Structure 1
Amino acid sequence: MKNETAALTKKKKEGLGWIESIKGWACVFHEFLFQRFMSSHLQNPFPLPPLNHLTCIVTGSTSGIGRETARQLAEAGAHVVMAVRNTKAAHELIQQWQNDWSGKGLPLNLEAMELDLLSLDSVVRFSNLWNARLSPLHVLINNAGIFSMGEEQKFSKDGYEQHLQVNHLAPALLSLLLFPSLIRGSPSRIINVNSIMHYVGFVDPDDMNVVSGKRKFTSLVGYSSSKLAQVMFNNVLSKRLPLETRISVVCLSPGAVLTNVARDLPRYVQVQYALIPYFIFSPQEGCRSTLFSATDAQIPEHCEKLKNDDKPICTFISQDCKHSKPSEEAHNLETANRVWEKTIELIGLPFDALERLLEGEEVQRRYGTQQQ
């Protein structure tokens, strides 16, 4: 009898149970319907203290939430690095913002650097260029993301499903490789713009690309599972970081926001989004939880408190800038550890990469070696 029970407990989970699924969708619809009411106490734009002492990297900062995040951080005095695919568009934005800011104070401290999250080689090149400056990095904001509507499954040139790579693998690699600069800037923060949609996600660490046929791929499956993988990975990362590093790890939900993350949605869906402005946040409203996570003075203390819990869990900030919890599935310790290990393997780092990077050692990398 005991053997049968053990066999059942070890049976591989192949998806969310129907109760978990119902709870997850209930959370999604609750946020969508009531997010404006729940966030009514927040000012818009979000008030920021002087940030002249901060250097921040913001990925995907030429549109949507990232654009508003970069602009408001810069206007508060931070040195902001716009890590983007289209540097021409970034330079045009910087010029526009400088013109708009003229006469209000010192020129904004902004710059653009090329980063394509669909190329892990590009992630390594970016990290190498930034680390070579020997400058401190205080806040890394992994903002860029995609939600590509459609049944067709698309892969990056690295061979990974696009949602998985852009929303999880590339930000994970970027976070790890920038540890030398984050340590230099300590106390520092890694901020991951996640989604309430991770509540309906499921991750099979042995089938991260969703190609085994056990689950039918849809854009929703790709997006929600990539966001859940990001939360699980950062749960483990937060737990493994020694307290003395003073690096805080945060995941957050910006709410339902009308941004370019939905640029690949059918036109009729985008029109429906535009017709319900009461429920949908503007990018300026949607960036508030990001700005809160990047600047609130109590975040490090909260992260330290969570480190003492039995289960690995990073700080999760809801769209109303309050501390919340990720989904029940995100608390799955066994799966989270397997997601961590599989992610390290897929991004081409050795399994002891974190420990070695924290010690200031070089680590062997599968990607970016041709550019060294």
Structure 2
Amino acid sequence: MLETVNYLMGSVGPSGYGSKSTAEQVTQNCSDLSSVTAIITGATSGIGAETARVLAKRGARLVLPARNLKAAEDTRSRIVSEFPDSDVLVMALDLSSLSSVRSFVADFESLKLPLNLLMSFSADETFAEEDDGNGDGNRYARTYCERDVEHPRHYDATRAYAFSKLANVLHTKELARRLKEMKANVTVNCVHPGIVRTRLTREREGLITDLVFFLSSKLLKTIPQAAATTCYVASHPKMANVSGKYFSDCNEASPSKLGSNTTEAARLWSVSETMVSKDSKAASDLRGLGGLD
């Protein structure tokens, strides 16, 4: 109850910021980011685009990977027109193709640039039955969806979305644990931006969806507010050595009990490793792991 009141009131937390804070506000006093290179996926619209804009304003060099290069170039043009000295690179990347991901990594490494920030935002992707010429295609997407296709009556889009967000939290936990074990000077955190209506939700219009957003309109964040937590975690000096945590409204928060399950986090990692393996039989072998039941 108290959390809801704080959210509605925009009360600040220990960080000095809250649900009403904007991305520009939380980065106003951060150190100069001119030495920082940030890769930002999903930066062509919504929260990702606002995050890219604000980090460019603070001096960061941006790398914008995208499947839709025109949309990425449009984002770049908007940023450069507002901040003429900004350094923004657009690179090709189709996250539904493992070969494209590997090509992107090779292309980025050839630039000899540092990688200081990797920020992953969702983009609206429609998966099709296709092959990219290397046998990858969307086999990992198909594997996740296979059982739902076999039993369509059991498919619940909201539940599937919730599980995808849970997977983000579990992946962050396990990655942070492994990095700490390696004594790597890398931190990784998970962010909940809040409730905001972006293009991703608008393109799923329907009576129920529209009704929910109408009734909750007073609770929605603006896009600058939704980008605040991400920008805070990415740039604030207080975050320098913080890893494996979950943040909401620019403050550390507690994930659900499921989101804190280290056993499931390790199991998800194992399944994910198999899914991105170069072994063409990897996806079909997932059933043996029991990770998708």
Residues 1:209 and 1:63: Cα distance change in structure 2 (over 3 Å): farther
The DSSP-based 3-state class of the residue aligned with 1:113 is strand
User: Is 1:297 matched with 2:237?
Assistant: yes
The DSSP-based 3-state class of the residue aligned with 2:63 is strand
Displacement of 1:254 after TM fit? 0.2
Displacement of 1:81 after TM fit? 0.9
Given that 1:80 and 1:111 are in contact with CA atoms closer than 8 Å, whether structure 2 keeps it comes out as yes
Displacement of 1:37 after TM fit? 2.4
What are structure 1's unaligned runs of at least 5 residues? 1-25, 165-206, 304-313, 351-363, 368-372
Pick one of 118, 123, 137 that aligns with 1:140: 118
Tell which deviates more after alignment, 229-238 or 213-222: 213-222
Q: Tell me how far apart the structure 1 counterparts of residues 217 and 100 of structure 2 sit (CA, whole Å).
A: 36
Deviations 1:15-72 (A, max 9, x none): xxxxxxxxxxx99xx76x8634245644433342221110001101010000000000
Q: Tell me how far apart the structure 1 counterparts of residues 256 and 150 of structure 2 sit (CA, whole Å).
A: 25
Residue number in structure 1 paired with 2:7: 35
The one-letter amino acid of 2:25's match is F
Residue number in structure 1 paired with 2:163: 225
TM-score, normalised by the number of residues in structure 1: 0.62
The 5 Å alignment of 1:68-87 reads: 68-87=50-69
Q: Tell me how far apart the structure 1 counterparts of residues 101 and 210 of structure 2 sit (CA, whole Å).
A: 30
Pick one of 94, 97, 115 that aligns with 2:76: 94
Given that 2:33 and 2:60 are in contact with CA atoms closer than 8 Å, whether structure 1 keeps it comes out as yes
What are structure 2's unaligned runs of at least 5 residues? 131-136, 284-293
Deviations 1:72-125 (A, max 9, x none): 0001000011122221122123223322335xxxx1111211222222222222
Q: Tell me how far apart the structure 2 counterparts of residues 284 and 92 of structure 1 sit (CA, whole Å).
A: 19
Residue number in structure 2 paired with 1:341: 270
TM-score, normalised by the number of residues in structure 2: 0.77
Residues 1:135 and 1:100: Cα distance change in structure 2 (over 3 Å): closer
Q: Number of aligned residue pairs: give it.
A: 264
The one-letter amino acid of 2:139's match is G
State the percentage of identical aligned residues. Answer: 26
The one-letter amino acid of 1:109's match is D
Aligned residues: CA RMSD: 3.4
The one-letter amino acid of 1:132's match is S
Deviations 1:294-351 (A, max 9, x none): 0122224332xxxxxxxxxx21111x1111122101222322211110110011169x
Deviations 1:237-263 (A, max 9, x none): 110114632100100100001112214
User: Is 1:315 matched with 2:253?
Assistant: no
Given that 1:160 and 1:209 are in contact with CA atoms closer than 8 Å, whether structure 2 keeps it comes out as no
